[in-house]
Structure 1
Amino acid sequence: VAGKKMAPAPKTLDTGWRGVWPALAAPGLPVVSSGRSAGARVACRTAAELGALAVLALSFPLHPPGRPEKSRADELLSTGVPTLVVQGGNDPFGRPEEFPAGPYELREVPHGDHGFAVPKKSGLDEAGAMGVLTGAVAKWLAALG
């Protein structure tokens, strides 16, 4: 472990999300389950059982960096609800072109890393990157109805 960030086990994260969900889900109001990185995995794994209208997955960690053979695509492919993935173009946890075809929408933040930061030489600043992200999300949410 030696100074590396370690996310809690998936079962622990899922249990915590299930516990919080009732406070988010007001009767009669649709809820989009969302998360970033490990939270995106939680949203994907639990959406159908919790009755989410849809899933918004930011920086979905398709695989550990440098380990594409350890794919987590099954979690993304089995949400059972409309799903949007917003992914940085240079995300070491999975670049957009690495994602399999599936029943979800995928939008890229050009040159973005796992936190959507973009290099200065990219020609896109932080505000521009966030504009791409928020624009994609707003358009997708509007299409949900």
Structure 2
Amino acid sequence: MTEATTGTPGTPRTTETIETDAGTARITWHEARGARLVLAVGHGAGGGVDARDLAALAAVLPAHGVTVALVEQPWRVAGKKVAPAPRTLDAGWRGVWPALAAPGLPVVSGGRSAGARVACRTAGELGAHAVLALSFPLHPPGRPEKSRAGELLGTGVPTLVVQGGNDPFGKPEEFPDGPYELVGVPWGDHGFAVPKRAPVDQDRALAVVTDAVAAWTGSLG
């Protein structure tokens, strides 16, 4: 089911529900005129598509020729408070993929935190054009020995990581060398929030995110 909603001025927005093996998912489309890419982004395990970075990308990228599809996993649509196991998250993402690919454009698979892990794990099988990993949870806080670097290193496609400089799930300097690009957000935490004492404000921190993603998507062939 698809319904029209009100979006950013000049940016048509529609909401679509999709049945998947994990339940009913929801896609909110922020459409670009003359789009050349679709950027599909999923949320994390502790929040939804109203996260500040996802909302900022949806507001900014359509002007750069990128349609942004914000994907809500079935557990979130159902109003549950706790995310399911990774395999269930992957099933939900697989289920929405045909709708994401329906416009006939290359699809960049992305997400924040747990959503970034989903994008990395499924990129190869789904034929993603590239992967965007926002606040990739390299390890649980305080447990660097529990590394999830293998997921990030195994995407097989161009990959951009945008990581807060103070992210307890992995600071930029903790990431291993690999076939991906990494942009740090100075003083940003896991949600790219910056402390009041930081020399940059919240708007500037978000601009680092949106500028990096706009430049990177513009470079994709």
Normalised by the shorter chain, which TM-score bucket? over 0.9
Please give the alpha-carbon distance, in whole angstroms, between the structure 1 residues aligned to 2:127 and 2:150: 19
Please give the alpha-carbon distance, in whole angstroms, between the structure 2 residues aligned to 1:127 and 1:12: 34
Q: Determine the structure 2 residue equivalent to 1:94.
A: 170
Please give the alpha-carbon distance, in whole angstroms, between the structure 2 residues aligned to 1:95 and 1:27: 36
Please give the alpha-carbon distance, in whole angstroms, between the structure 1 residues aligned to 2:191 and 2:105: 30
| 2:156 partner amino acid | G
How many angstroms does 1:27 deviate by? 5.7
| 1:76 partner amino acid | L
Under a length normalisation based on structure 2, what TM-score does the superposition of the two structures give?
Answer: 0.62
Please give the alpha-carbon distance, in whole angstroms, between the structure 2 residues aligned to 1:115 and 1:7: 17
Q: Structure 1 runs of 4+ off > 4 angstroms? A: none
Q: Determine the structure 1 residue equivalent to 2:120.
A: 44
| 2:215 partner amino acid | K
Q: Determine the structure 2 residue equivalent to 1:7.
A: 83
Q: Determine the structure 1 residue equivalent to 2:135.
A: 59
Q: Determine the structure 1 residue equivalent to 2:101.
A: 25
Helix, strand or coil for the counterpart of 1:142? helix
Helix, strand or coil for the counterpart of 2:93? helix
Please give the alpha-carbon distance, in whole angstroms, between the structure 2 residues aligned to 1:70 and 1:113: 19
Please give the alpha-carbon distance, in whole angstroms, between the structure 2 residues aligned to 1:114 and 1:20: 26
Helix, strand or coil for the counterpart of 2:197? helix
Under a length normalisation based on structure 1, what TM-score does the superposition of the two structures give?
Answer: 0.94
| Unaligned runs of at least 5 residues, structure 1 | none
Equivalent position to 1:125, from 201, 211, 214: 201
Bigger radius of gyration? 2
How many angstroms does 1:7 deviate by? 3.1
Equivalent pairs, count: 142
Please give the alpha-carbon distance, in whole angstroms, between the structure 2 residues aligned to 1:6 and 1:66: 21
Q: Determine the structure 2 residue equivalent to 1:16.
A: 92
Please give the alpha-carbon distance, in whole angstroms, between the structure 2 residues aligned to 1:44 and 1:15: 14
Q: Identity rate of aligned residues, in percent?
A: 80
How many angstroms does 1:8 deviate by? 1.7
| Unaligned runs of at least 5 residues, structure 2 | 1-45, 47-80
Q: 1:77-119 CA deviation, whole Å, 9 max, x = no partner? A: 0001000000000000000000000000000010000000001
Matched, 1:110 2:179: no
Equivalent position to 2:156, from 80, 94, 118: 80
Q: Determine the structure 2 residue equivalent to 1:138.
A: 214
How many angstroms does 1:26 deviate by? 2.0
